[in-house]
Structure 1
Amino acid sequence: MTRVLMRAIVLLGSWAIGLLVAAWVVPGVSLSVSGFILAVVVFSVAQAALSLLILRLPHGYASLLLGGTGLAMTIVALLVGSALSDGLAINGGASWVAATVVIWLVATVGAISVPDLFDRTEVSSA
């Protein structure tokens, strides 16, 4: 149970950091506190719903879909977040693509590397 909770926190934190990085480095992306919070909440709901669907698939298919669904969830979360809030604005197609890739990349790196750090800590302290 704690492993699942830790993974959820890491994914959420990684996506939040990715959103902040995108707002900082991608021209045409602006973010306020309300837009940030809404986008993170939308991503969390989308992540949970799609993860449940993917986990029901055979392992071979699930691993193929993970990268594509991560990008899809990111763009959906950005679309909903920008539609429901004035706090997240992305102007121009190139900015949409760049923001999606930056957020997805940061979230993926965080999701892969941070849980490994916790596993190493548990092994070394035992």
Structure 2
Amino acid sequence: MIRLIAMIVIELAASAVGLLAAAWLLPDFTLSISGFLWAIGVFTAARLILAPLIFKLSFQHARALTGGIALVTTFAGLLVTTWLTDGLQINGVSTWIIATLIVWLFGVVAVLLLPMIIFKKALAKARSGAQIPPMR
């Protein structure tokens, strides 16, 4: 259960990093302050729900696409987020393509680095061999 919560926290933070990076780098990628939390929640939920579905469909029908599942899932997550919230607007085909790449890239980097930052104490205890007490 703790791992699931930790994974969700990391995914939410990675989504926030990716969306903020795209909003900062692309003029036609608009992320409103009021809808920011909704956009993060919907985007993360869409990615977590759509990833297994897209993987299964691509594996059955187009095996060549299985390597690009993360990019397809990121694009689908952005699409669902723009449909369901007012917090995110993306204008132009090139912005959609570049935004997908930016959100995916920054999200990957965040997923790799954030656990070391957020769970620094737990990782240090695990490396030293100390017993980590269960969370209640």
TM bracket, shorter-chain basis: 0.7 to 0.9
Q: How many residues align?
A: 117
Matched residue SS, 2:89: strand
Unaligned runs of 5+ in 2: 57-64, 131-136
Alpha-carbon distance in 2 for matches of 1:52, 1:98:
23
Give the aligned partner of residue 123 of structure 1.
126
TM-score computed with the length of structure 2 as normaliser: 0.69
Kindly report which structure 2 residues correspond to 1:1-126, keeping only aligned pairs within 5 A, or say none: 1-51=1-51, 65=66, 68-115=68-115, 118=119, 120-125=123-128, 126=130
Question: 2: CA distance between counterparts of 1:39 and 1:3?
Answer: 24
Higher relative contact order (CA 8 A, sep 6+): 1
Structure 1 or 2: larger helix share? 1
Which protein has the larger Cα radius of gyration, Structure 1 or Structure 2?
2
In the alignment, is the contact (CA less than 8 A) between 2:15 and 2:44 conserved in 1?
no
Cα pair 1:7 1:111 within 8 Å, conserved: no
User: Given the two structures, how large is their TM-score scaled by the length of structure 1?
Assistant: 0.74
Check whether the contact 1:43–1:73 (CA below 8 A) recurs between aligned residues. Answer: no
Deviation, structure 1 residue 34: 4.1
Percentage of matched positions with identical amino acids = 40
- The Cα RMSD (Å) is 2.6
Alignment partner, residue 60 of structure 2 = none
